[in-house]
Amino acid sequence: MIARPTIPFTTQLKYRLISQLYFFGTASCNDLSESLGKSVPHVTKSLYELIDADYIVEKGYAPSNGGRPPLIYALQPDRMYILSVSIDQLYTRIGLLDMSNQFIFPIETIELRLLNNKDALAILTKTLTRILGRMGKDRKKIIGGGFSMPGFVNTRMGINFTYLSTNSKESLRDYLERHLHMPVYIENDSSVLALAELKAGMAQNLQDVMVIDIGWGIGLGMIVKGELFRGHTGYAGELSHIPISESNTLCECGKRGCLETEATLRVVAHRAMEEIKAGRISSLKIVDSPEKMSEAIMAAANQGDQYAIGLLTEMGFKIGKAIAILIHIVNPELIILGGRGAEVGKILIAPIQQALNQYCIPRLAEDTRVKVSQLGHDASLLAAAALVMEKFGQTAL
């Protein structure tokens, strides 16, 4: 991997302080001392050195219940930036974020089909190079790029074995670092979404949480004992490909019976396009792409369209059947519905719970809560940025 940009940090503690403040937003010295397991004097010394270097600012005093209120600290927003890239099978979204998690330019979306597209990586790299050109002199402040993507991603090797092949012995991570001139971190999209929930969402301070990534596939990010769980080779969480479907439809993975062939936003979009064309009555109109069609379905469902609600209800029940299997195996305390499908989470909750009532042993299901992610539409981009900052805090000097 390429060297990090030159940053005047002389100890790993300073990297970890930056990382912790990114995820906390604001924190006192005592908060940081407790989270990092370091003494208050040690943390205070590093804090003031980072203040002198203009990486951290004082944000006033925290509310006090008596006694002297503590000073709270935050990151200087424009001192460093993160390149965040969220890739799915059909579209790629690209953002540049500052240290307060704000996008410094409008998010750019490009259509980029991954399956059987030998030019996908070249198109992605060319687009990223163009977007980074907007930064001018500030480009040197970008501390790394986080890439969230579908497929079998080996983070240790820096390879995606499903998509974005370099057609050489060079890993995908090394290829991107060579072209973008920055440290790059790649991770499966569902695992990254779980990381975001762990660091800044509903999974904070919880031990066993499953994050269901509802989109073109049905991914799973696993938090076990308070840490992201990737499995022995890094491929844990392929919920899309558990064989629960009675359909004979061939999945992209080459197998039949996969959940992905019946219960994804892409499947729902294609079904709606076919049925409306055949005369199905609905407020929905056929649009020119699966993504736009799925967005139209979710919007119509949230406005009460019965046909759209029915499509999503059927999808939710099938997802719930898969979650029932998951609960029997893992016994999690919380299931979080995330990804694109979180937009209609309130509609999906009921059929998912119905499936759990039907397929789960009550004693196992009664202590598992099902909630909808609150991270919003840009969750995947925020998640990719979280990947960079997690690695930033683990920097070895």
294 in a domain, yes or no?
yes
Domain that holds residue 34: 12-75
Going by C-alpha positions, the residue among 240, 236, 238 that lies closest to residue 265 is 240
The pTM of this model reads 0.86
397 in a domain, yes or no?
no
Structure-token match 């005369």, residue found = 279
pLDDT band at 345 (very low <50, low <70, confident <90, very high): very high
What CATH number does the domain containing 67 carry? 1.10.10.10
198 in a domain, yes or no?
no
- What mean pLDDT value characterizes the chain? 90
Per residue in 88-105, pLDDT tens? 888 899 999 999 999 999
Per residue in 295-333, pLDDT tens? 999 999 999 999 999 999 999 999 999 999 999 999 999
pLDDT at site 397: 43
What CATH number does the domain containing 106 carry? 3.30.420.40
Do residues 114 and 231 both lie within one domain? no
Do residues 217 and 329 both lie within one domain? yes
Per residue in 245-274, pLDDT tens? 777 888 877 788 888 888 999 999 999 999
Do residues 70 and 44 both lie within one domain? yes
Do residues 290 and 174 both lie within one domain? no
Least confident of 81-90, 124-133, 171-180, 246-255: 246-255
Whole-angstrom distance between the N-terminal and C-terminal Cα of the chain?
15
Do residues 257 and 280 both lie within one domain? yes
φ, ψ of residue 55 in degrees (nearest 5): -95, -25
Looking from the CA of 229 toward its CB, the CA atoms found within 13 Å total: 17
Query: CA-to-CA distance for 140 and 78, rounded, in angstroms?
Result: 12
Least confident of 58-72, 223-237, 359-373: 58-72
Q: What residues contact 341, with CB distance under 8 A and at least 6 apart?
A: 214, 215, 265, 298, 348
3 in a domain, yes or no?
no
Judge contact between 331 and 289, C-beta under 8 A.
Answer: no
Do residues 169 and 108 both lie within one domain? yes
Least confident of 91-100, 135-144, 233-242, 315-324: 233-242
Q: What does the pLDDT average to over 214-224?
A: 92
Do residues 154 and 249 both lie within one domain? no
Last residue of a domain, one of 75, 104, 129: 75
Judge contact between 214 and 338, C-beta under 8 A.
Answer: yes
φ, ψ of residue 81 in degrees (nearest 5): -135, 160
Do residues 109 and 170 both lie within one domain? yes
Do residues 351 and 384 both lie within one domain? no
Do residues 157 and 139 both lie within one domain? yes
Do residues 228 and 248 both lie within one domain? yes
Query: CA-to-CA distance for 279 and 294, rounded, in angstroms?
Result: 18
Do residues 112 and 169 both lie within one domain? yes
